[in-house]
Structures are given as structure tokens and as C-alpha cells.
Structure 1
Amino acid sequence: MQVQHHSQFGTEIASRARKGSVSDAINSPMLAARAMSTVQPVGAQGKLIDAAVISNRMGHAINRLLTVRTEALENATATNRFNRSTLAQDVEAFLDLLRKWITARQMPCAFIWSREIGKARTEHLHLGFHLQSRFDALFADQCVRWFGEDKSPKLKAKKVLAESQHAVWQIKASERGNSSGTRIAIYLGKDEPDTLSSAWRKLKPNLQKRCPVHPVTPGLIVGLGRNIYRHGTSRNISPTSAAGKAILMLASNAERLISDHSQLPY
């Protein structure tokens, strides 16, 4: 658990030595003690889904999806910028900045997030969060200031609320009643492996992955210290907290997309 108010479970490579080569960054002493991963850990998607269920039951459903190139987070806040040497630290600083922006507008802060490489082979951050529609325009303007790229005058898709001119960031709406947050969580947890290798090197289904509908796109991501720091939630909707577990006790298996409780890692 970090000092910031979010929980973590847990390329141009993720280092300011990212100005050099990838191989140099990987082999640098600075990254020697940092956890690295190519996929999300087993149980990741389930935790993101449960966090979305908790958020919905608390009355502030996850209804927006922000996607941003992780390297753009470097300039989102000048606070301690020169003490941050990895993309993971930039993500950590941005999540704290986001929390402050949301709470300053008297809204409950609820978000889930994941980092991935994807088909474009560059690291980006997916962030599902709760936002009241009256703040949509204001949040888009804030993204311009945070990420340094202006809004595009034309939107590519109906559900896109705002996006930048050269695909640095994009905001989508997802308002499907009680299922909006779950759908976002399914997508954010897609890089959990669909299959696992047994002791005899035979592949078997990963029974903890609740909804393997999106293809896994593996890619090397550098974590935060010894934590792979590849996905997480705001602290108030953490499914591993006592309060979160109490709320989940009231949720049906259908809400959580589980067939039985043997699928639960906690």
C-alpha cells in the first residue's frame, strides 16, 4: 500500500534512461531491483471487476475510460519530477494528482487502472473512473494541460467524449447502467493470462480469469520497486479491504461474474 490514496496489486523502457536504448535501460543498475512483468498476475481481472462492483454499489459507478500514453504523464505535474526516474513513478504521481482533482470538485474518487503495451508496442495507461457528466468538458480541458496535446476538433467514434490531435490521450463514456464499470474492468484486466502452465508444462485454463473475451497483448513493463505495479484501484474501492469485502458479501455471483467462490484469490 502506497502513501497515495490508491491500492496496487501487486517499451521504450520505463526509465529516464529511456532516452537511451532499451537494452541499456534493462541492464542498468537503477532497474536491477525493480520488478518486471510481461502480463498481469493471476487474479488481476477479478480484483478490477470486484472494485467496479463495489464502486457501483456505493453509488458512483465507473463510467469513464481515459487512455493516455504513459510517457505523457512525465509533465502532468512538476512536483518531484526530477526525483522520478521511471514510468511507474510517473503513474503513481499522476494517480495522486487525479485523486486531488476529483475530490477538489466534491466528487467521490473511484478509479481502476492498468498499464499495458498493446499492439502499438508503446506503454499506455488505461484508467476507468467515476465522473459526473457536468465535468466532462472541464476534465477534457485539464487533460490538455496535463498531457501537453490539444483536443482534436473531430472525434473518431460516437462514445469518444474528447481526444487529442495525435492520439496521446482519449476519453470515452461508458454508461450502461450497472454494467458500465464491469465492462471497463474486463477490458483493463485482459492481460491476465488465459492459460497457465502446470508442473508438467501442460497448459490448463486459468480459472481465476472471469471473462477472457479480449486477446492478451503481453509486453514488458517495469514496476515500482519490487511491486510489478501493473494494475490497481483507488483505496476506497479496494476489494481486499475490510469495507470492500463487506460490500462484496452483498453482491451476487452474477454481478461479480463468478460461477463459485473457488475463483476468488482473497
Structure 2
Amino acid sequence: AAAQTLISASQSFNNLTIKNTSASGVILADALSVGGNLYLSADGANNVLLDAATNNPDVAVTGDLDFTGAGGGTESISMGNSTWTVGGDVNFTDGTIDDGSSTLVMNGDGKTLTANSQILYNLTLENNITFADSFTVANLFKCITASKTLTFTSGQTYTLNDIELDGQAVGTRVTLAPLGGTAYNWNVTADPQTDVSYVDVSYCNASTGSEIDASNGTNNDGDNNLNWDFGVTISGTCRQYDQSSNCADAETVRVAINGVLQAETGTTSTGSWSISYFTLSSDDV
């Protein structure tokens, strides 16, 4: 049978469930706004398709986005080139998505993405989000919102083409942390990877992909990370001319690479100093 067409005409739904009928799918004619939950539910033998690829309207869901049917039919979403903004949990278990060139934005606090190992095109995080299982981001994985924590399930693999992470300031870093206390795996494919600022990361094993350049002086190595470059830290002791007395406290120490003074500085304290976050090559002096 022919597809059905949903025309919202700037109206907002409370909760919306797309069920299986004899129609070949439900085509979104215009922007869709759901104040509650958006469900796809194949309760019988027929399939359910929500088609945003024909007209590419934006979709906004305040609650959850989920496949909920228990019947024999399949449940699928064609996301098109649209922006899908979801405030609740996103669960793609029991269904499939065609990512198109879409962007999934998750903006609800403490919500979970269960991707069922599927592919998203762009994924933007605007709040504290937990990732329950593996997924692939074909284009851009992005979080540039201050003071947010992204939690990755230990042992899972996240394949990310390109990343953009920025917590905006030292006191509001984006935190990348494990759920389970051991490493999660990143496979970052685009090279180079330099769009990382004000990030606090731990237990990220990125060894199978491109090296992540986090050496701009704004990021924090929370330990147990692989294939992240946080730059070089050097340290030493400052002595006065007699070679036995420590230099005064609060003296500024700078390092020169190949005869050029670097911007990074250290400060003496009981003679000791350290300077971090600059980059050295193998033939530098």
C-alpha cells in the first residue's frame, strides 16, 4: 500500500507512537515536534518505517526515542538530512536506522544512548550523556558545552570519524570517563585530530586509530589513556650561582626549543619547577 503522510502544520504532539499498518511507511511532510515520547511499535506482522528522508524536516522530541514493538514486523527510521533533537533516552535496540546525513542532538541531563552498534552521521552532545554500547559516527562527534560528562561503557568500541571537544575553560572541562572502571575503546579515523580543548579524559584506549592531539595546554590527562598526545612535561631544580642554594620562590622558568623561547612557563617553588604542554620532535634541541 502507499505510504501515509504526516502533516504537523506547526502543531505539537504530546506522545506519538507510529504503529504498523498496511502502508509502506509514514512520511514526515514537515517539522515534527513531540512534547513527550516518540515510539515506533511493530505490534503485528507488518513493518514500521518513519521516513524523514523524503522531505528532510527537523524532528524535536522532549522525551524518549525508542523502538517498542513486540510483533514480527521490523521497525526502522530513515533520518534523512534532518536534525533530530532528543531530550530523553535514545534506544535503537530492536530496530534499525538509516543515518543519511543527519545530526542527532542529545540535550537531556543524565540520559542514555543505546545505539545497538549502529551508524550515526553526526552526533552532538549538549548535556551529561552515558553511552550504553558501541556505535559509529560517520562524520562528526561533537561536545562543546561546558561542564559536561560523557560516560563510555568499559570494553565497548566507539568508531568516530572526526571529533570536536571543547569545555570552554579550565574549570569547565568536558569529562570523558568510563562506566565500569576499565578502558573503553576509541577508533578515530580522520587524521589529524586537533579539535580538542579543555577536556579531562581517562581510560580512553584510542590505540587503533589516529593519534589525538591534546597538547595545546588546556587538556588534562586523567591517566590510563592510549594514543593521546598531551605534550611534554619537563622538570628540574633551579640553583643560584653558588650551585647549592635554591633559587627564590616564584621565579619564572622558560624553555627554548632550537633556540626559540616557548610561550609555556614554569614557576620555582623551593627550587623545583616544571613546564608542561609543549611538543617536541625527535631532532629538537
Question: Which of 1 and 2 has higher RCO (CA within 8 Å, sep 6+)?
Answer: 1
TM-score (norm 1): 0.22
Q: Considering fraction of residues, name the structure with more helix.
A: 1
Considering only CA atoms, is the larger Rg found in Structure 1 or Structure 2? Answer: 2
TM-score (norm 2): 0.21
Q: Considering fraction of residues, name the structure with more strand.
A: 2
